[in-house]
Amino acid sequence: MAGRTSRRRRTHRGIGWVPALIAIVVLVALIAAVATWIGRWGSRTPEPLLPPQGCVVTVEGFNSYLTWEQSGNAAIIVGESIRRGLPARAATIALVTAYQESDLRNLDYGDRDSIGLFQQRPSQGWGTVEQIMDPWYSAGKFYERLVQVPDWETGVINDVAQAVQRSGFPDAYAQHEAKGRAWASALTGHSSAAVSCIDRHENLPDAAVLTDFIATVWGGAVGVTTSEVGALQLSTDSDITTWAAAQLSMLRGSPAGLTTLQAGAQQWANSGTDYAVWQPASPAPAPVVVYLRTE
């Protein structure tokens, strides 16, 4: 009995080495594979991170960034102020308010029944849900109430915004004032060559996106013609209007397929990788020339 037991144990020990050897071989192979991968890829320089898509404004050394979603809404807010013949301060107050209420996003939700860019409430007489969710309408309703606030053109911006909104956070608007001022100054044309954008969407050209916007803001005061190469030529009556039309077009440019834009003697071209700087350019056939992507 003892002899058989001893032989059986020796047999078991011999069989136990097989999986151990397999495990060692697999481990060695894995280490070798990892070492090879590190040697091949570990020394490579990481791909540079591209700047986020959207638009940047720079005014007197101050910078502010907007996503494309925010850019389109900011353009409507400022465009509506121009359409109504209001001063740039009105656009500043509206942008400051929309920053605080929605971060310049057209939200379909909010506190109680608040919705839209300005978180206006149907129950408080701002309009129907469908109306308020239209950025042009909601911006217009904001301006209607803004101009009824006493001394809105000279009062503290935070207090004027609060007088319109009656928010539960009455001092929250002030934190957005610098951003609102910078964007309003550029988009109303008072700060030239102040906006740059990055667009990697490569959308097909859609001139109607810009021609409809310009017609809504200026009516016939800014003429639009199309050149032989498909560029939009905008006729304006002043440098301020030139830069307002140019920089507002940039913020609405992604869905239109905008690639290059000239305002006066300066030109901007979308690079896709950097916020391109405006460059001197030869005289153009119109105060503003907008080039769209070719199909």
* 160 and 267 within one domain: no
Collect all residues with Cβ–Cβ distance below 8 Å to 49 and sequence separation of at least 6: none
Q: Pick the range with the lowest mean pLDDT from 6-10, 142-146, 264-268, 276-280.
A: 6-10
* 162 and 262 within one domain: no
* 122 and 211 within one domain: no
pLDDT recorded at residue 219: 96
pTM of the entire structure?
0.85
**Mean pLDDT score, 195-224:** 97
* 196 occurs within a structural domain: no
* 271 occurs within a structural domain: yes
Give 281's pLDDT tier (boundaries 50, 70, 90): very high
* 244 and 155 within one domain: no
The CATH number assigned to the domain holding 74 equals 1.10.530
Give 2's pLDDT tier (boundaries 50, 70, 90): very low
Examine the pLDDT at 44 and tell me if it is beyond 70: no
| Burial class of 118 by CB neighbour count within 10 A (0 to 12, 13 to 18, 19+) | buried
* 38 occurs within a structural domain: no
Examine the pLDDT at 3 and tell me if it is beyond 50: no
The two tokens of residue 147 are 């101009």
Picking from 137, 170, 191, the residue at the C-terminal end of a domain is 191
Report the DSSP beta bridge partners of residue 262. Answer: 267, 289
**Mean pLDDT score, 99-116:** 98
* 5 occurs within a structural domain: no
* 157 occurs within a structural domain: yes
19 sits in the region (left: phi over 0; alpha: psi -120 to 50; else beta) called alpha
What's the CA gap between 29 and 45, in Å, rounded? 27
pLDDT recorded at residue 116: 98
Q: Pick the range with the lowest mean pLDDT from 31-40, 121-130, 181-190, 225-234.
A: 31-40
* 212 and 178 within one domain: no
Of 5 and 272, the one with more pLDDT = 272
What's the CA gap between 205 and 207, in Å, rounded? 6
* 153 and 241 within one domain: no
Picking from 191, 214, 232, the residue at the C-terminal end of a domain is 191
Picking from 147, 170, 191, the residue at the C-terminal end of a domain is 191
* 40 occurs within a structural domain: no
Examine the pLDDT at 20 and tell me if it is beyond 90: no
- Domain of residue 279 covers 201-295
pLDDT tens digits for 245-263? 999 999 999 999 999 999 9
* 45 occurs within a structural domain: no
- Calculate the average pLDDT of the chain: 90
SS (H, E, C) the chain: CHHHHHHHHHHHHHHHHHHHHHHHHHHHHHHHHHHHHHHHHHCCCCCCCCCCCEEEEEECCEEEEECHHHHHHHHHHHHHHHHCCCCHHHHHHHHHHHHHHHCCCCCCCCCCCCECCCCECHHHCCCCHHHHCCHHHHHHHHHHHHCCCCCCCCCCHHHHHHHHHCCCCCCCHHHHHHHHHHHHHHHCCCCCCCEEEECCCCCCCCHHHHHHHHHHHHCCCCEEEECCCCCEEEECCCHHHHHHHHHHHHHCCCCCCEEEEEECCEEEECCCCCCCCCEECCCCCCCEEEEECCC
Pairing of the two strands 232-235 and 258-263: unpaired
Give 118's pLDDT tier (boundaries 50, 70, 90): very high
- Largest interatomic CA distance in the chain: 114
Of 251 and 33, the one with more pLDDT = 251
Residue among 266, 273, 275, 268 nearest 291 (CA) = 268
Give 295's pLDDT tier (boundaries 50, 70, 90): confident
* 187 and 112 within one domain: yes
* 228 occurs within a structural domain: yes
* 166 and 221 within one domain: no
Examine the pLDDT at 228 and tell me if it is beyond 80: yes
pLDDT recorded at residue 13: 46
* 214 and 120 within one domain: no
What's the CA gap between 145 and 196, in Å, rounded? 32
Give 25's pLDDT tier (boundaries 50, 70, 90): low
Number of structural domains, the chain?
2
* 181 and 162 within one domain: yes
Pairing of the two strands 223-226 and 279-280: unpaired
**Mean pLDDT score, 265-275:** 97
Phi then psi dihedrals of residue 269, to 5 deg: -135, 135
* 182 and 114 within one domain: yes
**Residues making up the chain, counted from first to last:** 295
* 187 and 58 within one domain: yes
pLDDT tens digits for 157-203? 999 999 999 999 999 999 999 999 999 999 999 999 999 999 999 99
Give 48's pLDDT tier (boundaries 50, 70, 90): confident
